[in-house]
Amino acid sequence: MLIQKTNVEGLVIIKPRLLKDARGYFFESFSQREFEEKVRKVNFVQDNESMSSYGVMRGLHFQLPPFTQSKLVRCVKGSVLDVAVDIRKGSPTYGEHVAVELSEDNHLQFFIPRGFAHGFAVLSEVAVFQYKCDNYYAPQADGGINILDEGIGIDWKIPTDKAILSEKDTKHPLLRDFESPFEYGMELYK
């Protein structure tokens, strides 16, 4: 796997080594050993998958402590714009985001550590999105930043009139009104 660092500490884009021949292709989508050597130690405990149609926007989600999650995400069908926003108090990149297109064609993965809000927008007719989590889902710990927060400056690549949003995702606070429970530099995020 090839690791591409981003301008926000902790967020990395992963490109697998693709082996192609006349039959198709093969790649290792995850290796615990290689991930720990090149990214960081992590223990994934839950895999999730969602299917969405064009224009669906999900996020910007996180789980509150002590149920916080790191995620390793990828799109196995179609394409999405995947976004992570730094919400770690004291971080030199607080409020900044990284956006990456993940698709069935580029096979890229995006690692999002604890202390980030995460969301995605479906760019293709249909997208199947998968993610590994290092903590179990806890509905009582759901948190979020408003996905339409213009102050963050995300270009979702979806016209507003084509966006399909849940009511819940539009009721989260704006980043400027949010009191983050995450601290930059805590052992949790290293």
Segment 27-61, tens digit of pLDDT: 999 999 999 999 999 999 999 999 999 999 999 99
Q: Concatenate the DSSP letters of all residues of 157-188 into one string.
A: SS-GGG-B--HHHHHSPPGGG----EETT-GG
Residue of 118, 131, 184, 189 marked active site:
131
172 catalytically annotated: no
The confidence score (pLDDT) of residue 160 equals 86
Tell me phi and psi for residue 60, to 5 degrees: -85, 110
**Domain map of the chain by residue range?**
44-189
CATH 2.60.120.10 assigned to domain 44-189? The reply is yes
The confidence score (pLDDT) of residue 185 equals 84
Q: What amino acid occupies position 146? A: N
Tell me phi and psi for residue 35, to 5 degrees: -60, -45
137 catalytically annotated: no
**pTM of the predicted protein model:** 0.95
Say if residue 188's pLDDT is above 70.
no
Residue of 61, 107, 118, 172 marked active site:
61
Q: What is the DSSP letter of 56?
A: B
Say if residue 9's pLDDT is above 50.
yes
Distance CA 184, CA 11 (A): 14
**Per-residue pLDDT tens over the stretch 126-181:** 999 999 999 999 999 999 999 999 999 999 999 989 999 999 999 999 999 999 99
Q: CA-based angle 173:136:77, to the nearest 5?
A: 80
